[in-house]
């Protein structure tokens, strides 16, 4: 297998199916596929969720993260919860009726219905004539899966003709095989004490459907011509056969060999061999035989392995063998035909040139089946599944979109805000709903939190009186008097990680301080807020970020509601607003009504700031620019179905380039809500109230995936919308973005058509 790794955008893949050391073909396949993907793609973590058929389970390797109990449906539901909570990007299911509980394996449906990520299912059995239960289960597995993988053309035909599954949902990927050299069979014969002998081989878990008796019955004629020939049967009896029948079948084969007088020519290797041992057995074989009795077999790992090793193969004509051994890559004999089997073995042994030509054709065909190639094909299928999930959400996911906006705003729930706050301030990030201490605190988030507490004062909310001073104290501690700037990042041990924070963090702090001075009804906070505002205002003029200017302008406009006579704040406002106007005039065109050559983050905050400045300065040109740029942005961030689609953070949008659709961030919805409400307040145009509502509905599930970002059980907000799922972490930025949007919309409701100017 190739060891060079390719970078994949899929970070975490979960494989559901039996897993080694459980003894079955599905376990071998799942394990090999999982390890091949892990080996081939850097940055991708593969985990496994096997199905246990025994109470004790198995001694699994580290990749196994969760074990499913076959006959316990609750175990399947717990597995779904585990996958949803562990940031899994994609699930790869190995489907075989017999490994799952319920009628025709129906318990697996309970798991699939709950998953929030794309599903790619490999179908190991596809029945041409299923019963009603089998047909129903496979059809629903197909409906819940984003892509289906088959290993043969016939399997693809059955899916379309029998199950009415469209061909464009199906990927044909061959059964993976080890990458082994093309060697002479004599090379490894000494390992098994058969040097100098002709070796026929069959391997796999033993059961009566394998047809080994056909070969044993053919041996007398073959041995008469080639007395130094041995037939090696490798593999333990299938565990399910052991449970119900014991070793009856193997004993019957031994008795048959004795009856035919060939007991010395048959070797039973009665155990489940390792991967390395199996390759050695295959390499020692002159002819490999699969004498299966049932034509309705859509795949065979044993046949794939031996073809890829360049073996001369004789098989009965089950479906997979017909396809794989076509074009003279092997020989087919009728089912249960001892004489035909003997004829073909003798013919291949007598015609060495024909046998070796067959071997070479098989080996060359198998180059496309080695695991490194198959892993690449699977990753392509996974990528298609992720892309398609962006445009189609199956009904099960739509049904789970919670809190769809119905015209009424959600109730205010502050539990998560309180949970994320300690005696120092608000934590920056969370792991799911739990504060993440390792990332500490930021001025950015404490400024946001301070602003939200100021808005809460508008409603007379005193529940969080104890929190506002903590956020304000954090800003005071963040101020570096020597630099005249705020620091931004602080670790959990209260160590500052820089002397000067970002331009944006400085602007956000000014925004929050101005809002406190205007809206807070707690005079005790005004003194410190006013002092910090005065000390840090001059430094905003030395920054270069248009968004930092916009945040500061919003704060200045809030401050001016109480202190209109402060000439210095007026001068700073005039200078920053003029800089934004110059940017707009130098970058605007008929196709690009914006302030820069790119759209990145918190875009709506810039027209928001200009609208406030134009209104307070009675400057119609500023208002016109604010409305024009906001209108252009609003139309750009609207899907064909009418819902809000913010600029994605994975690449943003450069003029003339391709727009990033994902990841979508809550702060983009919040800034659009705030800016649209300002436009509504200034123009009294109902269109802007609708734009604010449209952006807010994004939080509640009216988005590309029909999934709610807001969590009504915690009052928190999930951190973003990926192409196929939500980010389950509920960090401060996201939660505060939701709360600020909700509070501003409630202010509109409260005052009907007249509101105070909303803030960022």
pLDDT digits (tens, 9 = 90+) for 700-727: 999 998 889 999 889 999 999 998 889 9
pTM of this prediction?
0.64
Q: Which pLDDT score, from 0 to 100, does residue 461 have? A: 63
- Cβ-proximal residues to 458 (8 Å cutoff; 6+ apart), any chain: 519, 743, 747, 756
Q: Which pLDDT score, from 0 to 100, does residue 463 have? A: 62
Burial class (CB in 10 A: 0-12, 13-18, 19+), 123: buried
Of 585, 749, 617, 604, the closest CA to residue 679 belongs to 604
Q: What is the 3-state composition of the chain as percent helix, strand, coil, each rounded to the nearest 5?
A: 50, 15, 35
Mean pLDDT (whole number) for 493-518: 96
Provide, rounded to the nearest whole percent, the portion of the chain with pLDDT above 90.
77
Residue 740 predicted with pLDDT over 50: yes
Both structure tokens of 174: 């061959």
The CATH 3.40.50.2000 portion of the chain extends over 6-176+373-395, 185-369
45-49 vs 41-42, strand pairing mode:
unpaired
Model confidence band, residue 325 (pLDDT cutoffs 50, 70, 90): very high
Q: Which pLDDT score, from 0 to 100, does residue 397 have? A: 40
Mean pLDDT of the chain: 91
Give the number of other Cβ atoms within 10 Å of residue 414's Cβ.
17
Rounded Cα distance between 91 and 100, Å, is 16
Q: Which pLDDT score, from 0 to 100, does residue 399 have? A: 35
Per DSSP, 50 falls in state: P
Rounded Cα distance between 744 and 520, Å, is 15
Both structure tokens of 599: 């759209």
The SS3 assignment for 222 reads helix
Q: Does domain 401-751 have CATH number 1.50.10.10?
A: yes
Of 309, 306, 337, the closest CA to residue 320 belongs to 306
CATH code: domain 185-369 is 3.40.50.2000
Q: Does domain 6-176+373-395 have CATH number 3.40.50.620?
A: no
Residue range 249-292, pLDDT digits in tens: 889 999 999 999 999 999 999 888 887 888 889 999 999 999 99
How many Cα neighbours within 13 Å face the side chain of 495? 5
Give the number of other Cβ atoms within 10 Å of residue 244's Cβ.
8
Q: Which pLDDT score, from 0 to 100, does residue 758 have? A: 41
Alpha helices by DSSP H, 484-619 = 503-519, 523-536, 546-562, 567-587, 605-616
Q: Which pLDDT score, from 0 to 100, does residue 301 have? A: 87
Model confidence band, residue 492 (pLDDT cutoffs 50, 70, 90): very high
Residue range 522-565, pLDDT digits in tens: 888 888 999 999 999 999 999 999 999 999 999 999 999 888 87
- Cβ-proximal residues to 635 (8 Å cutoff; 6+ apart), any chain: none
Radius of gyration of the chain (CA): 34
**From start to end of 222-261, where are the E strands?**
229-234
The CATH 1.50.10.10 portion of the chain extends over 401-751
Strand partners, 171: 149
Element (H, E) at 15: strand 12-16
Determine contact, residues 455/740, Cβ cutoff 8 Å: yes
The SS3 assignment for 360 reads helix
């Amino acid at each position: 297998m190739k060891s060079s790794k390719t970078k994949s955008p899929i970070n975490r893949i979960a494989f559901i199916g039996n897993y080694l050391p459980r003894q079955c073909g599905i376990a071998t396949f799942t394990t090999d596929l999982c390890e091949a993907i892990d080996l081939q793609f850097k940055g991708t973590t593969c985990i496994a969720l096997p199905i246990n058929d025994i109470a004790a389970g198995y001694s699994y390797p580290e990749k196994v993260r969760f074990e499913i109990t076959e006959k316990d449906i609750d175990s399947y539901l717990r597995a779904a919860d585990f996958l949803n909570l562990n940031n899994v990007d994609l699930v790869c299911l190995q489907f075989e009726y017999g490994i799952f509980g319920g009628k025709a394996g129906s318990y697996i449906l309970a798991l699939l219905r709950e998953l929030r990520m794309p599903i790619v299912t490999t179908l190991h059995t596809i029945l041409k004539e299923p019963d009603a239960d089998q047909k129903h289960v496979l059809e629903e597995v197909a409906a819940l899966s984003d892509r289906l993988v088959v290993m043969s053309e016939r399997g693809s035909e059955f899916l379309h003709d029998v199950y009415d599954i469209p061909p464009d949902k199906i990927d044909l990927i061959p059964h993976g095989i080890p990458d082994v050299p093309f060697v002479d069979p004599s090379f490894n014969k000494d390992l098994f004490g058969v040097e100098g002998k002709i070796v026929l081989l069959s391997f796999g878990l033993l059961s009566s459907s394998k047809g080994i008796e056909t070969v044993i019955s053919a041996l007398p004629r073959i041995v008469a011509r080639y007395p130094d020939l041995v037939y090696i049967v490798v593999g333990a009896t299938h565990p399910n056969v052991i449970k119900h029948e014991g070793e009856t079948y193997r004993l019957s084969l031994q008795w048959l060999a004795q009856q035919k007088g060939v007991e010395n020519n048959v070797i039973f290797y009665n155990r489940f061999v390792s991967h390395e041992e199996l390759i050695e057995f295959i390499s020692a074989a002159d002819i490999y035989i699969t004498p299966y009795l049932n034509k309705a077999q859509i795949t065979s790992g044993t046949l794939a392995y031996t073809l890829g090793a360049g073996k001369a193969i004789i098989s009965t004509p089950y479906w997979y063998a017909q396809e794989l051994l076509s074009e003279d890559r092997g020989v087919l004999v009728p089912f249960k035909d001892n004489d035909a089997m003997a004829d073909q073995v003798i013919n291949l042994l007598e015609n060495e040139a024909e046998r070796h030509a067959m071997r070479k054709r098989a080996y060359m065909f198998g180059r496309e089946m080695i695991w490194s190639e198959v892993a690449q094909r699977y990753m392509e299928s996974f990528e298609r599944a992720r892309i398609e999930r962006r445009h189609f959400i199956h009904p099960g996911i739509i049904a789970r979109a919670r809190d769809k906006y119905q015209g009424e705003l959600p109730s205010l729930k502050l539990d998560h805000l309180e949970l994320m706050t300690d005696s120092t301030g608000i934590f920056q990030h969370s792991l799911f709903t739990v504060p993440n201490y390792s990332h500490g605190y930021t001025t950015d988030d404490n400024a946001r939190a301070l602003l939200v507490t100021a808005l809460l004062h508008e409603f007379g909310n005193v529940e969080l009186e104890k929190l506002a001073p903590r956020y304000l104290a954090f800003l005071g501690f963040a101020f570096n008097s020597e630099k005249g700037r705020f620091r931004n990042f602080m670790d959990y041990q209260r160590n500052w990680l820089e002397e000067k924070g970002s331009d944006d963090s400085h602007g956000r702090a000014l925004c929050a301080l101005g809002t406190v001075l205007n809206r807070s009804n707690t005079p005790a906070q005004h003194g410190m807020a006013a002092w910090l505002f005065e000390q840090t205002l001059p430094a905003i003029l030395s920054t270069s970020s248009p968004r930092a200017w916009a945040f500061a302008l919003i704060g200045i406009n809030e401050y001016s509601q109480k202190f209109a006579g402060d000439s210095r704040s007026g001068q700073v406002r005039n200078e920053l607003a003029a800089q934004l106007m110059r940017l707009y005039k130098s970058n605007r065109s008929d196709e690009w009504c914006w302030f820069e050559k790119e759209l990145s983050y918190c875009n709506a905050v810039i027209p928001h700031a200009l609208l406030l400045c134009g209104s307070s300065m009675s400057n119609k040109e500023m208002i016109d620019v604010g409305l024009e740029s906001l209108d252009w942005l609003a139309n750009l961030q609207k899907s064909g179905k009418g819902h809000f689609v913010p600029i994605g953070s994975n690449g943003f949008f450069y003029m003339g380039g391709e727009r990033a659709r994902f990841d979508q961030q809550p702060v983009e919805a919040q800034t659009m809500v705030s800016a649209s409400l300002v436009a509504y307040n200034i123009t009294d145009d109902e269109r802007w109230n609708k734009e604010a509502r449209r952006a807010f509905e994004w939080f509640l599930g009216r988005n590309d995936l029909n999934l709610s970002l807001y969590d009504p059980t915690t009052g928190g907000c999930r951190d973003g919308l990926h192409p196929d799922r939500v980010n389950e972490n509920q960090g401060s930025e996201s939660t505060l973005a939701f709360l600020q949007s909700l509070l501003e919309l409630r202010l509109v409701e409260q005052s009907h058509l007249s509101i105070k100017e909303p803030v960022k």
